[in-house]
Structure 1
């Protein structure tokens, strides 16, 4: 394993945790803005419709994937600027 890849591991883990926190907060705010309840539905919420559960899941997945890509790419770019090598 390359030294740059090994050195990037802890950075990648920290960025992963950060992206999860950011994505969770963004999803919660997005759900409120869309005019829904404070909390997004769980798949097993009996009172919620199929449509509401699926829309919430798709929105949450899209936000999490987008934020993760942004944070991962930014971390890799910053690593290259600092070390001169891409961490992949």
Structure 2
């Protein structure tokens, strides 16, 4: 249980945050993609620039699953960081927390 008080959002704050949240999500996806490609180049330096996809038969399943695991973890971390930062910035500008 958290010792921090839970912040409640008004309906107006939630509506006003939607466009900001959408832009932040798109930006987060672009950043996560760039980060993942840089990480993958270091994980697989002898491979191609692009990570393997499930339908590429020349790669072993193990390599495909490692790429998917790394990609999912990176996307989740970047999304959480951007969502949280965006909510804090919104709160700073408006005085209201945009989430539940």
TM-score, normalising length from structure 2? 0.85
* Aligned pair partner of 1:78 in 79, 86, 89: 89
User: Higher relative CO (CA 8 A, sep ≥ 6), structure 1 or 2?
Assistant: 2
Root-mean-square deviation (Å): 1.0
More helix by share: 1
1:38 aligns with 2:10: no
CA distance in 2, matches of 1:13, 1:19: 10
Unpaired runs of at least 5, structure 2: 1-9
Q: CA deviation at 1:33?
A: 1.2
CA distance in 2, matches of 1:53, 1:37: 13
1:27 aligns with 2:36: yes
CA distance in 2, matches of 1:72, 1:50: 32
Other-structure match for 1:63:
74
Q: CA deviation at 1:44?
A: 1.0
CA distance in 2, matches of 1:38, 1:4: 42
TM-score, normalising length from structure 1? 0.96
